Structure 1
Amino acid sequence: MTLFTDLQATLALTQQERYKAALKSARAGMRRHKKHPDFPNFAAVALCSLGKKREAIPLYQKALALDPQFHKARRNLGMALVDIDQDEKAIKVLTKAVKNDPKDERSWMHLALAKRNLGDFEGAMEAVAKVLAISPQKEDALMLNADILDKADHISAALDAGRKALKIVPSNMVLLKLTAKLLSAQGMTDEALSLRHQAVALNPQRTDTLKALATQLLNLGRQEECRQVSLNVLKLDPTSFGSMEQLSLFQTKEQNAELRETLLSALAATKPQGPGRTSILFALAHIDRRAGETSSADGYYAQANRETALLTPYDGDQQALLTNNIISRYPGPMISESQTFPDPRPIYVVGLPRSGTTLTEVTLGAHPDVTPLGERKISKALATAFLNDLPLGPNELKELVDRQQENLPPLPADTRAYVDKMPENYRYIGVLKSAFGNARFINLRRDPRDVALSQWHGHFEKGAITYSYDLKAMAHQFNLYAEIMAHWHKVMPGEILDLSYEDLVSDIETSTKNIAEHCGLDWTPSMAQPHKHAGQVRTMSLHQVRQPVHSRSVRKWVKYEEMLAPFVAELDPNLWPEIR
């Protein structure tokens, strides 16, 4: 056979997607035409299509060795390297590819992917912009653009990109999900809900879109609608244990009794650390606790926490390092006389998770001049800066302010303040005060034993609060919290309002008057009726804050004193004098 016929035969098999035959033909061509680069390239393409991308890499390299100007082989090599997570090597290959052919959108696309994967978001945005300049309506590039902006924490820009892309490709499920998520994060719940319904209408059999819709409905307090959607999920996927766990928290006793039998059967069929097992255990614990079966519930909670702790171990050394670095590097706020601060001012509500931060945010949000914004995303970047000893001076603080302002959703014209209730911001009070000199800080103080119990009964988003599943780890983190709060009070006297959760729920009017005064607001009676003003709530408190304020959770720990003993024993009495 001639070179031409061998090439034609291999190409035809590749185009027909007969990849095993194409691989065999390409290898035969490599033996007959040892110096022709097309055959190792064809063989590599076939291997990639057969899922053997690592085996393809040497063949692409062979093709390039035979012809260093072989652009397709170079692009294909870069794409394969991205697919097997060798992003640094891919960037070197693809950078050369786009230099040789600046109009090759596939090379630009994979260069953007590689840079995104390595956290070079600016570089990734530049690369995907090249793709869109070549093909403005390219669906994959539109998705990737919004995704990169989201990962780079350009929330408003990502949302704008998602909305614009949906005008071009309105049926793209990835864009619908991402844009709905961003809308929800920005408090634009009506539009988010509309997109979630649109996604479900496009494909009613997709359980991921149904789950997202159910969660949105639950966050908005629409429990019965959430239940109906969740039941639909379970018809499509009887092993959706996360949906069962969600239902267990608000269904009636009778509805939960039926669900309990399903969960018991599922538990018997799963192995420790198996998929969904922790959701099964937490769901059983929730059902039994709400039914008054305390002993059974306690057993399930203990087992659920034990197994979750194995899956998401707590890194106490890293947490201690982070705390020590912050205290040593940040003796107090750094504010120059020339600094100006943007309005409206932020109010940061901080504290340990489950200490009353959501309730406090809702009381503030009931004020006509205050907009509650939930948990804003700033702490991750700050943690990275402190753990890696990155600069955090005037330029970085300005960037922090600019990013925060950029990501604010549209606020009502009369807004005087907005609330960020990310509990973990307690670590960064000094940084935030330096960046936003007009900010106000409210720190929730609650009996640590009640906080620990509430966390023990909770199943947080995967990886979010890893210490909550181990009593000694919990005490370790609580001590770090108390230590850094003592530091802030020492170097920033009078800047932080310590708000007692127990006082808040026993005398809501007096407590909210103190909150208003600290935040420079005129108190309004609406602040004392937070349950009438709860909008979207995206935390575990979504059920509680829609009830009138009560003190039923105060001193709940007393019934669990024996169980909590390992936690109490590890608390530092100098930091927690109330446990003495």
Structure 2
Amino acid sequence: MATDPSFDPKKAISAGLRAVEQGRPGEAMQIADETLRRAGKYPGAFFLKAYALRSTGDLAEAIAMARKAEKAGGRDPLTLNLLALLYKESGKSELARRAWQDVLAKEPRALDAILGLARLDRDLGRFDASHAGFERALALAPGHADTLASYADARLKGGDLDQAVSLADQALATEPGHPLALSVWASQALRHDTSEKVADRLTAGLALGKGRPDQRAPAIGWLAEALERSGRTEEAYAHYSDANRILYDAMAPSWSDADYSLNHIRTVLSALQAQSGTRLSAIEDKAAPAPVFLTGFPRSGTTLAAQMLAGHDRVVLSDEAENARALLDAAGRTAGSWQDYLAMTPARRTGLRRAYWKAARAEGPLTDGRVLVDKLPVNVAMVAALGAAFPDARFIVMVRDPRDAVASAFKQRFEPNASTVHLRSLDAAADYCDAVHRALLEAQRVLPDLHVRVQSYEKLAADPEGEGREMAAFAGLDWQAGMLDVQERAREARIQTPSALQLLEPIEARSAGQWKTFEAHFTDALETLRPWTQKWGTDA
């Protein structure tokens, strides 16, 4: 295959793979291009380019390159495994599963494929299948640090905290600087060890340099939290910023125009501003019922509200699933498309409601008196799209002092997506917070008959029963005492949001004013958020 006898493509590809691992994807892509020039359609060059593109967040182009590698190399297991990873990260779960199953059909003991499926099931919340996969992997490779760390993470997300710590400790005994194991360990150690001890161990572990930058970022974030609790606020801020830069900056371009991105929200906002107040057409008798939509800027209390409502025996919770794609597509992004959308006929509305329920529940709409609570925080920016299709829906919008919400969101290690990439800095998060709430206000202006309850997180945390009763009544629910058993449900519900561990503690308003820790870094953000602190009475 080689066209230049003096060129060693295997050596070049090895150097390129090292460049990716060390955070230099551009250099790796140059090596891949040079290999293709000098060695023809060498499968490893396509593989390297796909691997490098993956680290930049350009998943679509990475998939295209991986397919070229697959074609050139005859569907070898290594390429299929990379293709599966790319499918998984692109949200194409079933394609990922199929690719890993193809690997196992060729090599039944292929550890990467077994781990890939176990991690996929973990991320989909299929914890029993995930645990079985990790056990199978450990049977093949006892003491394997990556397997132990991923299994620890799965146990943590599934609510089995003791087992999670035990597995993390085993991984760290084998590989002291394993970043995922460090993250799992720190998430629990901060609950009972001194912050100084946690910071010291994280610092020592990270100094060993294990893992790719994106794997290290969550552990860096935990180090930032330990430093903040120790009063070392400037060091903490620097580490939060570093973790976010690693997690989000490379991914931001690939999400720049996706649904729920800042560009998308601003486009929708502009389209709504061109509309006048609208009275919607009637709802057909045969139309599917309306859910309760629970929304709010990230870290504004949606998880607490969801778990309170989930304590009602008539509530079915949809937790952070994007069920409304058909509605967003139908509304479009132009003033003209929105004008048509708002003027939809009753028959079109019935069809859109049917499409929503198809995405929300494979079993179909709830028609037995139960209520679907659709919790997706970023839908706060899409209330107009949801409300036009469901004018009879109830919208609970969680609000919190926006300075606290922005500070808290900045400190989290969210999975990168079109909305979370905007939480990478205080100023960027403030811009996103401002945009989503402006879109909410425009929705209420254009659709004045919408049923919207703006629920203060601070009030709900301070008076959970009093505010909870009012919130439940607004959602059409009677009050049930079990709705306050949030801690017990948090242990059983396998919640996969940053709020999960906080729900294990008693409900109380203990996080007000936390933004002041980083007040010196709230430069433009304070001015951006001022209208909202004034509107919600939190500007003291």
Give unpaired runs (5+ residues) of structure 2. Answer: 14-30, 51-58
Offset at 1:60? Answer: 8.9
Correspondence for 1:496: 452
RMSD of aligned C-alpha atoms?
A: 5.0
1:352-391 to structure 2, matched below 5 A, reads 352-377=297-322
Instruction: Give the partner amino acid of 1:287.
Output: A
- The structure-2 alpha-carbon separation of the partners of 1:357 and 1:364, relative to structure 1 and needing over 3 Å to count, comes to same
Query: How far apart in 2 are the matches of 1:163 and 1:524?
Result: 45
Q: Note if contact 1:306-1:469 (Cα within 8 Å) is conserved in structure 2.
A: yes
SS in 1 for 2:499: helix
**C-alpha displacement at 1:84, in angstroms?**
6.5
Inter-CA distance 48–414: structure 2 relative to 1 (3 Å threshold): farther
**Could you tell me which residue of structure 2 aligns to residue 250 of structure 1?**
188
Rounded Cα–Cα distance in structure 2 between residues aligned with 1:391 and 1:371:
33
Give the C-alpha shift of residue 229 in structure 1. Answer: 1.0
1:160, 1:166 → 2: CA distance? 10
1:445 deviates by: 0.8
2:176 to 238, 256, 279: 238
SS in 2 for 1:540: coil
Q: In the alignment, which of 462, 466, 477 is matched to residue 521 of structure 1?
A: 477
Deviations 1:489-533 (A, max 9, x none): 222344222111112112212322223223223332111221121
> Counterparts of 2:220 and 2:515 in 1: how far apart (Å)?
21
Q: Shift of residue 422 of structure 1? A: 2.4
Larger C-alpha radius of gyration, 1 or 2?
Answer: 1
The aligned residue for residue 28 of structure 2 is none
Please tell me whether the aligned partners of residues 249 and 286 of structure 1 are also in contact (alpha carbons under 8 angstroms): no
Which residue does the alignment assign to 2:26?
none
2:164 to 208, 211, 226: 226
- 1:355 Cα offset (Å): 0.7
Q: Which residue of 1 aligns with 2:134?
A: 196
The answer to which structure, 1 or 2, has the higher relative contact order (CA under 8 A, 6+ apart) is 2
Query: In structure 2, do the counterparts of structure 1 residues 263 and 342 end up closer, same or farther at CA, with 3 Å as the change threshold?
Result: same
What secondary structure does 2:319 align onto? coil
The alpha-carbon deviation at position 354 of structure 1 amounts to 0.9
Checking the alignment, whether the CA contact within 8 Å between 2:171 and 2:181 is kept in structure 1 is: yes
1:571 aligned partner: 529
Whether the 8 Å CA contact 2:427–2:523 is kept in 1: the answer is no
The one-letter amino acid paired with 1:483 is R
Q: d(CA) in 2 for partners of 1:211 and 1:397?
A: 47
Query: CA 1:174–1:559 in structure 2 vs 1: closer, same or farther (change >3 Å)?
Result: closer
Does residue 468 in structure 1 map to residue 423 in structure 2?
Answer: yes
The match for 1:427 is: 381
Per the TM alignment, residue 262 of structure 1 is displaced from its structure 2 partner at its CA by 3.1
Separation in 1, partners of 2:188, 2:114:
28
Who is 1:72 aligned against? none
- Match of 1:521, SS state, is coil
Q: Percent identity?
A: 20
Question: Residue 434 of structure 2 is aligned with which of 453, 462, 479?
Answer: 479
Q: Which residue number corresponds to residue 545 of structure 1?
A: 503
- Aligned to 2:531, the other structure's residue is in SS state coil
Measured after TM superposition, the shift of residue 358 of structure 1 is: 0.9
1:114-129 map, 5 Å: 117=63
Deviations 1:442-496 (A, max 9, x none): 2101111221332344333356623434332232222112211111222234422
Q: Deviations over 1:403-460 (max 9, x none)?
A: 7625646799968233332211222222233455664322101111221332344333
1:114/1:484 CA distance change after superposition, 3 Å: closer
Q: TM-score, normalised by structure 2?
A: 0.70
Give 1:261's aligned residue: 200
Q: Secondary structure at the match of 2:494?
A: coil
Question: Which residue matches 1:448?
Answer: 402
Change (3 A) 1:470 1:458: same
Work out whether residues 180 and 216 of structure 2, in 8 Å CA contact, stay in contact via their aligned partners in 1. Answer: no
CA distance in 2, matches of 1:489, 1:323: 15
Q: Which residue of 2 aligns with 1:405?
A: 358
Cα deviation 1:190-224 (Å, max 9, x = unaligned): 33333333333333344333333212211233222
The answer on 1:322 being equivalent to 2:322 is: no
1:347 aligns to 2:302 (yes or no):
no
Q: Contact 1:154 / 1:403 at 8 angstroms: preserved in 2?
A: no
Structure 1 Cα separation of the partners of residues 360 and 46 of structure 2: 30
Inter-partner Cα distance in structure 1 for 2:372 and 2:84? 26
Distance 1:533 1:370 in 2: 13
Match of 1:554 in 2: 512
Query: In the superposition, relative to structure 1, how do residues 171 and 558 fare at CA in structure 2: closer, same or farther (>3 Å)?
Result: same
Letter in 1 for 2:264: L
SS in 1 for 2:295: strand
Other-structure match for 2:224: 285
Deviation at 1:154, TM superposition (A): 6.3
Cα distance in 2, alignment partners of residues 192 and 410 from structure 1: 24
- 2:464 maps to what in 1? 508
Name the SS for the 1:353 alignment partner. Answer: coil
Q: Quick one: which amino acid aligns to residue 232 of structure 1?
A: Q
Distance 1:145 1:384, change over 3 A: farther
Indicate the residue corresponding to 1:98 in structure 2.
none
User: Aligned pairs, how many?
Assistant: 483
Q: 1:139 to 1:474 in 2, by over 3 A?
A: closer
In structure 2, the partner of 1:104 is none
The code of the aligned residue for 2:483 comes to M
Distance 2:63 2:199 in 1: 42
